[in-house]
Structure 1
């Protein structure tokens, strides 16, 4: 499947800032064409690529004060699915900042008692989260975790993913978050989904059902949103002014929600 992805982020850098972006397709992919540029007031800036875990590609820019713009474009034609090891799966069973599996383990045990098989639990958790939350843009804070999302009964993609992750970990299933480009997503934006270790592979969990899982393009992978943010202001001050994201596929696939799907 051929997928074209782009992102453009504009910032007002009020004080010289160290900026780190996670907007490039991960190292799992073959790219036919790829470009990444950054400017302040039209002047090109140096971009340094850093290798993060799970083949996440970070890009660091030292930006002087001014109007900052970073633009990314890529054509993704294929790649390999993510692999896992014992240590990684252990880490993905622990509670994390936004996925408080210790607090939600009793809820998971009560709601999913009697369901046998990891694949069946995966489907049950995804359906349960999808039917209990309402997708409401702007309804959550960047500091909200899974517990607050469940109490509020609403959120956006990252909130759905965090709740799925916390419940799955509470059931003894390793789970993590993935930031993705999502062809077919409406409205178009960066998207967040969960992954769970089922039958020897990482399987996508997207309780929002807003985009077909087979079309997703992996950007960043981690325990939760703390590891997958598209922008980190390490120092200085930079305020988001505008952001535009696009993602298209040459053939948008069907998504059978009864089937296990891995990001490739």
Structure 2
């Protein structure tokens, strides 16, 4: 499916403030960027770099006063998510070098403190994909989704105790429980079609049988039509905006809609864009 997605952020800076932005998705596994538009008001110099996880990042200095960012894109997305019940666990000694660090505890994912819970959830479950799916299902059924119950300091250990949170918290918990079983897991942020309520979204991927698979503990069933913006160890690596000064976010708008294309335009785009595999998931190493 082709999706029109984007966000609009309105800030007010008390002083000139450096920012790192992470708003541009890149073509890769399960998605192809057909069109994108980036508007910054007032206009400022922008430089772009690729971080250690392959994410596109932009550096700007917001002037004092109102400052807004508008990003929109049309993206060809995969309609379904790969699933692989029974896919085997990948032993640590066989993990690629660039995957190995996703087995370690990180700022919001204290996997070293959640081993007992992970063992309880996955008791009598075959190692590998089935363990990650048991974790996803347990979180979806056992943790209540509720706005206003967590903040930027909430960790996976906090969520395991409170059993309440939002997508960020569900994701941190899923990552931590997987890592407690020596299954590499990473955070993914982006857009999800028909998310309710609409917002920027987070989910996790687990590495089994030599590749990454998508898991979303906020959803009852696997859903495709996702636009990935960034990957990282946890929320500290994938913030959409990181500011270095006195600056407030006044308003944020997010949208994801099916792209309206007539038959001629659809035919043209099908020739212009490469054919995607039918589902999300890849051994692509450039997006780590």
Q: Identify the TM-score tier after normalising by the shorter chain.
A: 0.7 to 0.9
The structure where strand makes up a greater share of residues is 1
Say whether 1:262 aligns with 2:272: no
> Post-superposition shift, 1:185?
0.4
> After alignment, is 131-140 or 112-121 more displaced?
112-121
Cα 1:261/1:25, change in 2 over 3 Å:
closer
> After alignment, is 155-164 or 104-113 more displaced?
104-113
Counterpart in the other structure of 2:60? 61
Equivalent of residue 239 in structure 1, options 231, 248, 252: 248
Equivalent of residue 109 in structure 2, options 86, 91, 99: 99
Say whether 1:14 aligns with 2:14: yes
Counterpart in the other structure of 1:34? 36
Contact 1:12-1:66 at 8 Å conserved across structures: yes
Cα 1:190/1:67, change in 2 over 3 Å:
same
Counterpart in the other structure of 2:274? none
> Post-superposition shift, 1:24?
1.2
**Unaligned stretches of 5+ in structure 2?**
82-94, 261-278
Contact 1:183-1:212 at 8 Å conserved across structures: no
Equivalent of residue 174 in structure 2, options 151, 164, 179: 164
Give the Cα separation in 1 of the matches to 2:184 and 2:258.
Answer: 30
Cα 1:64/1:97, change in 2 over 3 Å:
same
Could you tell me the TM-score, scaled by structure 1's length? 0.88
Counterpart in the other structure of 1:44? 43
**1:56-97: per-residue Cα shift (whole Å, max 9, x none)?**
111111111010000001111259x9xxx7122210000001
Equivalent of residue 138 in structure 1, options 148, 151, 173: 148
Give the Cα separation in 2 of the matches to 1:197 and 1:250.
Answer: 32
Say whether 1:111 aligns with 2:124: no
> Post-superposition shift, 1:236?
2.1
Give the Cα separation in 2 of the matches to 1:97 and 1:191.
Answer: 20
Contact 2:77-2:225 at 8 Å conserved across structures: no
Contact 1:134-1:155 at 8 Å conserved across structures: yes
Contact 1:48-1:61 at 8 Å conserved across structures: yes
Give the Cα separation in 2 of the matches to 1:183 and 1:110.
Answer: 33
Counterpart in the other structure of 2:217? 207
Contact 1:183-1:211 at 8 Å conserved across structures: no
Contact 2:22-2:241 at 8 Å conserved across structures: yes
Say whether 1:90 aligns with 2:90: no
**Higher alpha-carbon Rg:** 2
**How many pairs align?**
248
Could you tell me the TM-score, scaled by structure 2's length? 0.81
Counterpart in the other structure of 2:198? 188
Cα 1:261/1:118, change in 2 over 3 Å:
farther
Cα 1:23/1:181, change in 2 over 3 Å:
same
